[in-house]
Amino acid sequence: MDKIDIFIQESLKRGFSLKEVESKLLEVGWPPENVHNAITRANNQDQENPKVVFRKKQEPGKIFAKPQFTEKTILQTLLIFLGASIILSLTFAIFTYEWEIVNYTITDPVTGEQLRGYCEDPSCSEVKEAAAEAVKDNLTLDILMAMLAALIATMAYLFIVNKKAVIWTLNSIFFLLVIVMAVVWFAFI
């Protein structure tokens, strides 16, 4: 094996592509014919001995994994957290609005009885205003609850080995929340 062949093999082991190695050899002054022949040999050898990538088998019963923190995973985690926080904040705010509309009560001026589900004005503007005010009053709480839920979901996704199970579980919980919201809303109508 020539020096050039050894250099190419070592460069490939370090993760450089054949194109990168070829350009570097030509850049430092190796004759183009020698470089081309050595790259061809390396390419043929690479095809004869394909690399096999082994994935680490998951240990039976292993639930938690130590995540590999790279820039990519940190950015992904932050985006997942922010996205989930926004979606959950909006969901909780809508639920608060809905809950206030459903539980809005007025006092009947004639009997003094508390009436739930009725409006004084035909447009129900006072109900909408009361619900919007409730959302404003509870916005901080809704955001904190959403951030806590998003943090728990993100950490579960990061540390639990079976990512698909985590996603399915979280989607199922969110779907149940949406069903509860629908039941509350249709109970009012």
Residue-range definition of the domain harbouring residue 164: 71-188
pLDDT at 41 over 90: no
Could you give the CA distance from residue 128 to residue 104 in angstroms, rounded to a whole number? 10
Strands (E) located in 64-158: 105-107, 114-116
Q: Is residue 62 part of a domain?
A: no
* Average pLDDT of the segment spanning 156-164: 83
Q: Is residue 65 part of a domain?
A: no
Q: Quick: pLDDT tens for 66-111.
A: 777 788 888 988 998 999 999 999 999 998 998 888 888 888 888 8
Q: 42 and 76 share a domain?
A: no
Buried b (16+ CB within 10 A) or exposed e, 115-131: eeeeeeeeeeeebbebb
pLDDT at 116 over 60: yes
Token pair listed for 32: 């183009």
Q: Is residue 55 part of a domain?
A: no
Token pair listed for 61: 């019963």
pTM exceeds 0.75: no
Which of 12, 33, 48 finishes a domain? Answer: 48
Phi, psi values for residue 109, rounded to 5°: -65, -25
